[in-house]
Amino acid sequence: MGTLVRYSLLLAFGFVSYACVPGSGSDLDATSNMSGATGGVPETEEEKILNALGQALSQNVVGAGLSEEELAFVQRGFSDAVLGQEASVDLNEYGPKIQAFMQERVSAGAEVELAEATAFIEEQSAVEGSEQTESGIVIQVITAGTGANPTAADTVQVHYHGTLRDGSVFDSSVDRGEPATFPLSGVIPCWTEGLQRISVGGKSRLICPPDLAYGPQGPPGIPGNAALVFEVELLEIVDN
């Protein structure tokens, strides 16, 4: 799935989070001196790539739930490091504190998200036509299939569109214009179970509770304890 591909990319940029050290309390107005910190609307191909780079790098800190004011300190640290300017704080002193800071922020956010996810799952289970499995997955049939149902040992080809509960898209083979093929034994539990309830040619909406998705430690781009929504069309059971 595309999310896993992007996760590998972000790991390659992992060093960036060590350069993005929050400030020690200096005036926020200092960020006004950052050259090109906000940039503009990308127009050329190179500018669009650079914008995409910024989006990719942001996944290292998005789970921390930074405010606009806090983000300004991150931007200042990043800009100073990249442009070779004098740092506002000592990286050797504050760098080792980043991991604990991020873990604390992510954990706090995950607790809030779990409550929201639980309420969302309950709400979706009450939608007319919904079926909820014993494990907690909510399945809403969009189009009934006429073919066979896969087993957990099968490899399938699907088109899918993945969103968070607020509708934000985090992964989509539909948007990429290319179906995905993978073994059901190698995906999140929600997919392993949910796909077995879709017949070839069918399309369903799978609402996945956090414990059957990515749990409290969501990958980049997905909050910890997030409920995930997938519209999945089962195209084929692939011969192994």
Selecting among 171, 198, 207, 237, the annotated active-site residue is 171
- 214 in catalytic set: yes
7 in active site? no
207 classed as catalytic: no
Cα–Cα distance for residue pair 150/101, rounded to 1 Å: 44
Active-site pick, 160, 198, 222, 237: 160
Helix (H) or strand (E) holding 112: helix 98-125
Beta bridge partners of 233: 159, 203
Burial of 91 (0-12, 13-18, 19+ CB in 10 A): middle
Catalytic residue among 170, 198, 207, 222: 170
Would you call 29 a catalytic residue per the annotation?
no
| Residue 15 is among the residues annotated as catalytic for this protein | no
Beta-bridge partners for 131:
139
The single-letter code of the amino acid at 172 is S
Q: Comparing C-alpha atoms, which of 200, 197, 82 is closest to residue 141?
A: 197
The question of whether 239 is a catalytic residue gets the answer no
Q: Catalytic one among 73, 94, 120, 214?
A: 214
Token readout for 31 is 């960020």
73, 78, 120, 230: the catalytic one is: 230
Among candidate residues 7, 18, 182, 188, the one labeled active-site is 188
Active site residues: 160, 170-171, 188, 214, 230
